[in-house]
Every structure is written in C-alpha cells, then in structure tokens.
Amino acid sequence: MSKNIVILISGRGSNMQAIVQANIPGIHIAAIISNDPDALGLRWAKEQGIHTIALNHQDFPTRAEFDLALQHSIDQFSPELVVLAGFMRILSESFTQHFAHKLINIHPSLLPSFTGLHTHQRAIDMGCKIAGCTVHFVTAQLDYGPIITQAVVPILPEDTEECLANRVLKMEHQIYPQAIADFIGGHLTIKGMQVHNSRTHLQENGAIYS
C-alpha cells in the first residue's frame, strides 16, 4: 500500500513539480497545501488532478493559530512524510515537534552556511567557489536539522544571483525526489544531527548525494 505524503508550498512550486514528476514508487501525493491562495504551484497541482488546499496565513490572527490549523489540515491525510518545498513560513516549535522526524525541507545553500534568505548573492559576495543545496529534517531552529543530502555546483566568475540560483535549482530538482524515495524506502536512520543513508548516490553530473 502506498504511503501518503503532503507537500507545502508558497510559490511557483518547481520542486513540487519535480517530486510529482519523479513518480516515486510507493508514495501517494495526498495533498498540496499553500499558505498563498494565488501560488502558481497550486494552480499547476490542480491541473494535474492533485488535491489542493489553500490555507491563507493572513486569515489567522496569530502564528500559533495558523500553525495549528495547518497541522490539522495535514493530519487528516495521516502522512508518512511532510515535505516543505519553498514554503515561506517559519514554523512554530509545537508544529515541528508534532511532525518530528517526518518533516523535511530543501534549502538553497550548503548548510550550515547561509541559512535564511538571499543565499546565492551572499555566497557570491563572500567569494565562495562552490554553492549548492541541502535537504534536511526540520527542527524548530530555522534551516537547521539533520542533513539528509546535499549537492554541490561551482560558482563561476561571471555568475549573477539569478544564474547561480538556476544552476542550484537543477540540483534541487534531482536531490529532493531522491531524498523522499530514500525516506519512504526506509533507508534513512537519524542519529543526533547525523543521517545515515543505506544507499549512496553518485550521479553522472558529478553531484554526490549523501
């Protein structure tokens, strides 16, 4: 029997699309939830016939109330895994505790460097020679939690924020579905801040996964 996953988005949803299009064996995408009713990704998901929910955070007086409503909305699907894919809300401790070890995020930097926003410009400004992306389990601390997988790309001398972001995004689209497949396949074990993956992935494009 396939396992339910729920994906949370706020915007264009290109990672969500990559996950949907990966047709990961053993999963059922039970719902796509967005805190922005106008999110482009929500429209795309609807067109695919996927169950979508818009839960506008502006309709709630406090963060705690929104988080609780979101939690209830997710819980109705009893998901094995909750996937943050460009979900631009900070989540409260009670939410992250509730979904502990079954809530993952993708961040466009090589964590623990460059948490927060504008990761690509900050990496360029700091003279970094490489950049990348990280899939990690979510904890109450922003962009911090056991790392599942990372992919690396070069930063080239003529790079703008936009072209670096595009280069990293291509990697995001590869490692996120892979990380989900590994989770669902039962290949991940968490020990403190470390995640052991019983499968190691070395790709032709040179990205090293886990």
Residues annotated as part of the active site:
107
Find the binder of ligand GRF among 19, 20, 80, 108 (CB under 6 A): 108
Residue 85 interacts with ligand GRF (CB under 6 A): yes or no? yes
State the nearest-atom distance from the C-beta of 40 to ligand GRF, in Å. Answer: 8
Residue given tokens 């994906």 in the structure block: 7
Q: Which phi and psi (to 5°) does residue 140 adopt?
A: -65, -20
Q: Which of residues 140-199 bind ligand GRF (CB under 6 A)?
A: 169, 172
User: Least separation, in Å, of the C-beta of 41 and ligand GRF?
Assistant: 6
Query: By CB neighbour count within 10 A (0-12 exposed, 13-18 middle, 19+ buried), where does 98 fall?
Result: middle
Residue 12 touching ligand GRF (CB under 6 A): yes
Dihedral angle of Cα 140, 142, 144, 146, to the nearest 10 degrees: 50
Regarding 86 and contact with ligand GRF (CB under 6 A), the answer is yes
Q: Is 107 in the site for ligand GRF (CB under 6 A)?
A: yes
The set of residues, in sequence order, having a beta carbon less than 8 Å from that of 135 and lying 6+ positions away, is 104, 105, 106, 147, 148, 149, 150, 175, 176, 179
Residue in the shown chain whose Cβ atom is closest to ligand GRF: 86
Q: Rule CB under 6 A: which of 53-82 touch ligand GRF?
A: none
Tell me if residue 32 falls in helix, strand or coil: strand
DSSP state of 175: H
Nearer to ligand GRF, 50 or 61 (CB): 50
Footprint on this chain of ligand GRF (rule: CB under 6 A): 9, 11-15, 41, 85-86, 106-108, 133, 169, 172
